[in-house]
Structure 1
Amino acid sequence: MITAPLARWFIHIYGPLHTFKVLGTLFLVIILVLALPFRFPKENLFDKQQTINNNNLKVLDVSTKEMLTKPKFYGLWTCYAIGTLTRLMTVGITSSVGEEIIKMDSKTTAFMVSLFAVFNGIGRSLFGWLTDKLSPLKASIIAYITIMVSSGLMLMAREGTVGLYVVSFALLWMTLGSWLAIEPTATAIFFGSKHYSKNYGFIFTAYGVGAVLGVSISGIFRDKFGSYIYTFYLMFLLAILGVFFAILFLRKSKAN
């Protein structure tokens, strides 16, 4: 919400290359300052919690090596990659789509990016709650259906249909946040908490793959077909594929 208009203002004043330097310096200072209050706890809270859990039930404890042999890991990884790929195919072109298809001016689209960023945050809380309340499978299916709806809305969009654009991209940004809530929770549910940090590190590589492919694919489609609108056809199909993988792999079982 803050960075998008700030970056555009810096670009207007300093140009894109110097803006990277300015933002990089700001992030460095802000992160270091915010990191200063962090302290390790005086007692090992994890071991204490494990003792409590062990007294009540058998705690799931899957090592990273063991996790990599399980089909559920690859299913979870694939769902994450598809989810982030579809989202990042469009998030990076939010302003371009608004200007090219809806014919909005650059200042308005910059404001829209700030608005959509709020929905990104809402998606993290909402889908975190859905994952806890329902299951990773059901939350994933809801996220994929949301992608289908938002893609379908953009396929109906034409010049001046600002309402369709806003609703569609608000949903798209919300589902981007959804995967950053579903996958960490699903990792803990399926593979336990003891090796969670390392296990989720492997799962999170799907985000990197989705980011690289998503940005590349949207650019390729724009160059090949002359419009970003064709990207939404692919998004719709990928969401259907995601539902298939979710149903196939994300069912909770005793053996996981």
Structure 2
Amino acid sequence: MELTKKRWIILIASCFINLCIGSIYAWSVFSAPMAEYLSSVTGLSLTPGNLAIAFTITNSVGPITMISGGWINDRFGPKKVIFVGGLLFGGGMILSGFATSVGYLVLAYGIVLGLGTGMVYGCTISNSIKFFPDKRGLVGGITTAAYGISSVIIPPIANSLISRSGVTSAFIIIGIAFLIIVCAASFFIEKCPSDFVPAGWTPKTVNVGRSIQNDKDWKGMLSSPLFYIMILLLMCGAFAGLMCTSQASPIAQKMIGMSAAAATTVVSVLALFNTGGRIVAGYISDKIGRINTLAFSSVFSVIGLTLLYFSGEGSVLTFYIGISVIGLCFGALMGVFPGFTADQFGVRNNSVNYGIMFIGFATAGYFGPSIMSHVYSTDSSYQRAFVIAAVLGITGLVLTFVYKLAARKNQKMAVDKN
């Protein structure tokens, strides 16, 4: 009974930690002033698009420490992993404040901070899900929502610091604060016992097919055809969200003609819907199923991208609706997938398994912003990037049906085998 109550403290601490590391989604607020600063230092004419590689690498290297940190987490507990990850994350942010070139920024923000993010993110989510087998979808949504809400809170704080002290000082101040918060909160995190069952909750009886699928290690997961469908679905679904999140502020300014201040509001609105989508979709997925929730998310993502495609100079309302829908769908995907992975392959090795699954997210994190930047530099327009993302959104919808067929076949084979 004591651990059943204590799990809520662990969840709250995990949310505070994710609130800090989720500040990477506020990158578009830092990108323009940092490009201006580095241009003055290097003598080059740099744009936010030139710095997008730092954000791209941040997302790309995350799975490295999600997998390695997840292996340590599953065996020794998350406390030490999160503490070290906090040092890397805060240290990377602080070092970014001393950047004098794009290469230095890529090393500090892209690699050091990115490795710290993956280390922390994988542990907080997987450990929280283990403590809440009775609310797996909801808790997955809450912990990832804390990660997403950071980009609602951080942009105005960062803007204030940038306007008062400059972008480099903003990096250093925020980095120090987050390093302290993450490392301090790590002491409230405990490892979930393998036999933990919340007081007053009785696990549902599972069918033969499901019981065989559960508690696979990474080798067992990779041997399942369902894994490859799921990772492709994650990649297709995350593409639009990461593409728009990485350059939300520049898109608003260049495509719609908004001021820098108004574009900052766009970043916060996108983050707000991103956050709400994680909690709402996590809760709904507990009711109607993860794959059905992801199917709806794919449909609405295409609708949002269509609205962005038809947005232009002065189309503020259409743009806001489109970007809000993208944020909602991106949040839904990120809120559902931790529980989706645990449902399919079990919670025992979920830290490592979800780290491997997260490679789909990292792939989208690399190609989404890169394609967006390339399309704009080639076309002087973002429209073709929205078309590419919409095609992937439709592909994601198709994959939800492929998953259902494969899951039924897999279950039938398991039943026949027994």
Give the TM-score normalised by structure 1.
Answer: 0.89
The 5 A counterparts of 1:130-145 are: 130-145=284-299
Letter in 2 for 1:157: S
Q: Quick one: distance in 1 between partners of 2:387 and 2:207?
A: 47
The structure showing larger relative contact order (alpha-carbon pairs under 8 Å, at least 6 residues apart) is 1
Residue equivalent to 1:16: 167
Q: Quick one: distance in 2 between partners of 1:107 and 1:155?
A: 23
Deviates more, 1:131-140 or 1:17-26: 17-26
The alignment partner of 2:311 has SS state of coil
Matched, 1:242 2:400: no
Q: Quick one: distance in 2 between partners of 1:136 and 1:208?
A: 21
Deviation at 1:40, TM superposition (A): 4.6
Residues 189, 250 of structure 1: alpha-carbon distance in 2 compared, 3 angstrom cutoff: farther
Answer whether contact 1:154 1:164 (CA < 8 A) is retained: yes
Q: Quick one: distance in 2 between partners of 1:230 and 1:9?
A: 34
Q: Quick one: distance in 2 between partners of 1:8 and 1:200?
A: 34
Letter in 2 for 1:8: N
Matched, 1:149 2:303: yes
Q: Quick one: distance in 2 between partners of 1:76 and 1:103?
A: 38
Q: Quick one: distance in 1 between partners of 2:173 and 2:401?
A: 45
Q: How many residues were matched structurally? A: 252
Q: Of 218, 221, 225, which aligns to 1:64?
A: 218
Q: Quick one: distance in 2 between partners of 1:48 and 1:29?
A: 31
Residue equivalent to 1:35: 186
Gaps of 5+ in 1: none
Residue equivalent to 1:47: 195
Q: Quick one: distance in 2 between partners of 1:108 and 1:40?
A: 43
Answer whether contact 1:86 1:235 (CA < 8 A) is retained: yes
The 5 A counterparts of 1:134-213 are: 134-213=288-367
Q: Quick one: distance in 1 between partners of 2:204 and 2:394?
A: 40
Letter in 1 for 2:195: D
Residue equivalent to 2:380: 226
The 5 A counterparts of 1:91-106 are: 91-106=245-260
Residue equivalent to 1:116: 270
Deviation at 1:55, TM superposition (A): 8.5
Q: Quick one: distance in 2 between partners of 1:115 and 1:193?
A: 33
Letter in 1 for 2:364: G
Q: Quick one: distance in 1 between partners of 2:404 and 2:160?
A: 44
Letter in 2 for 1:198: V
Letter in 1 for 2:389: M
Deviations 1:209-256 (A, max 9, x none): 111111111101111111123211111111111112221125543268
Coordinate RMSD, CA, aligned: 2.3
Q: Quick one: distance in 2 between partners of 1:32 and 1:74?
A: 35
Answer whether contact 2:274 2:328 (CA < 8 A) is retained: yes
The alignment partner of 1:62 has SS state of coil
Q: Quick one: distance in 1 between partners of 2:204 and 2:338?
A: 22
Gaps of 5+ in 2: 1-151
Residues 55, 248 of structure 1: alpha-carbon distance in 2 compared, 3 angstrom cutoff: closer
**Structure 1 residue ranges, 4+ long, deviating more than 3 angstroms after superposition:** 13-18, 52-59, 250-253
Deviations 1:136-170 (A, max 9, x none): 22111111111111011112212222111111111
Q: Quick one: distance in 2 between partners of 1:221 and 1:14?
A: 34
Deviation at 1:21, TM superposition (A): 2.2
Answer whether contact 2:252 2:266 (CA < 8 A) is retained: no
The alignment partner of 2:330 has SS state of helix
Deviates more, 1:65-74 or 1:10-19: 10-19
Q: Quick one: distance in 2 between partners of 1:242 and 1:57?
A: 28
Give the TM-score normalised by structure 2.
Answer: 0.56
Answer whether contact 1:131 1:182 (CA < 8 A) is retained: yes
Deviations 1:180-219 (A, max 9, x none): 1221121122112222222111111211111111111110
The alignment partner of 2:223 has SS state of coil
Q: Quick one: distance in 2 between partners of 1:106 and 1:208?
A: 28
Letter in 2 for 1:89: M
Answer whether contact 2:243 2:369 (CA < 8 A) is retained: yes
